Amino acid sequence: MPESQAEFTELLRDLKNYIVLGNCSNVIISSKGYSGNIILTTELKEFEIRGTKVFASCGVKGPLLAQKTSDAGLSGFEFMIGFPGTVGGNICMNAGAHGQSICDNITSCCVFNKKTKEIEYKTKEEMDFSYRHSLLQEGGYVLLYAEFDLKKSPVEEIKSLIERNLEFRKSIQPSLSTPNAGSVFKNPENDSAGRLLDKAGVKEFASDNVKVWNNHANFIINMGEATSEDVLELMARMQNAVKEKFTITLTPEVIFIGDKTKKEEELWNMLYKKTQK
């Protein structure tokens, strides 16, 4: 857990086998662990607001940014209030909700190039953003920090949007203290994964350790002792149910990290390989 950008880049230059993670809110970590290094960015918490510009290190949490920018009368981060992603995780996933996405207000990203081991600046266009996708997912770069340009707006309007977003989440999503990794599958074009899963009857799906959230069919809850294999098995059942009913193959949004059992290798191939572009 590096505590400064200098320490972070030193680790990135020195370590050979590593994965960079933020708040781990979009990942299933293998129960077998990972035979490499994990760099957690959550101590990289510097941010600065200058006029409408916001500079944020990769480890800054989204809900904090939403609060601080709303206090400053800046609109654009209201969607971040209800989920626990860091700036690095959010940019990697191009996180979004309630009609907003992290890429909307980005002006530049400072990244570490894993091949050359140099620091580079990427424009928004170079970050190759699309729905739940960015350049960072291709594996060649690590986000160090990002710069945004937000819009001036009355504080009451921003706060009221934040309240509405929080209320909406409370009504359908598991709370942040219930172990889950957010939406399991991405929305297919012009449809909602939650709707398809619901119609395919997956809300009934459960095993001893994991279950589908009864209020929203695109969430899996760890009941306490679940292994990564339990989660992948349930994901495969959910994907199959939608395939059988609608002939649509849902693409996982959650990312599997670490070493796999033989069974997990098979499940992973089924779930991820056939849905990757």
Q: Out of 132, 228, 229, 264, pick the active-site residue.
A: 132
Q: Which two tokens stand for residue 214?
A: 């009864």
135 touching ligand FAD, by CB under 6 A? no
| H helix or E strand, kind and range, residue 231 | helix 228-246
| H helix or E strand, kind and range, residue 169 | helix 155-172
Question: Is 169 considered catalytic here?
Answer: no
145 touching ligand FAD, by CB under 6 A? no
Half-sphere exposure of 170 (CA within 13 A, CB side): 7
136 touching ligand FAD, by CB under 6 A? yes
85 touching ligand FAD, by CB under 6 A? yes
134 touching ligand FAD, by CB under 6 A? no
Half-sphere exposure of 93 (CA within 13 A, CB side): 30
Nearest CA to 8 among 160, 111, 158, 157?
Answer: 111
Which CB atom, from 92 or from 271, has the smaller least distance to ligand FAD?
A: 92
Question: Is 70 considered catalytic here?
Answer: no
Q: Which two tokens stand for residue 229?
A: 């294999």
CA angle 83, 88, 92 (to 5 degrees): 90
Half-sphere exposure of 108 (CA within 13 A, CB side): 7
22 touching ligand FAD, by CB under 6 A? yes
Q: Out of 57, 70, 183, 228, pick the active-site residue.
A: 183
Question: Is 195 considered catalytic here?
Answer: no
Binding piece for ligand FAD, criterion CB under 6 A, among 64-72, 93-101, 123-131, 185-193 = 93-101
Q: What is the DSSP letter of 147?
A: E
Binding piece for ligand FAD, criterion CB under 6 A, among 79-87, 116-124, 197-205, 220-228 = 79-87
The alpha carbon dihedral of 136, 137, 142, 148 has a sign of: positive
143 touching ligand FAD, by CB under 6 A? yes
CB 137 within 8 A of CB 107: no
Q: Cβ 7 to ligand FAD, closest distance in Å?
A: 14
Binding piece for ligand FAD, criterion CB under 6 A, among 89-97, 152-160, 241-249, 265-273 = 89-97
Which CB atom, from 262 or from 273, has the smaller least distance to ligand FAD?
A: 273
Which CB atom, from 89 or from 230, has the smaller least distance to ligand FAD?
A: 89
Binding residue count for ligand FAD, defined by CB under 6 A: 33
Q: Which of 2, 76, 88, 194 binds ligand FAD (CB under 6 A)?
A: 88
Binding piece for ligand FAD, criterion CB under 6 A, among 24-32, 153-161, 205-213, 235-243 = 24-32
Give the Cα separation of 245 and 197 in Å (integer).
10
2 touching ligand FAD, by CB under 6 A? no
Half-sphere exposure of 263 (CA within 13 A, CB side): 12
The residues annotated with a catalytic role in the active site are: 132, 183, 253
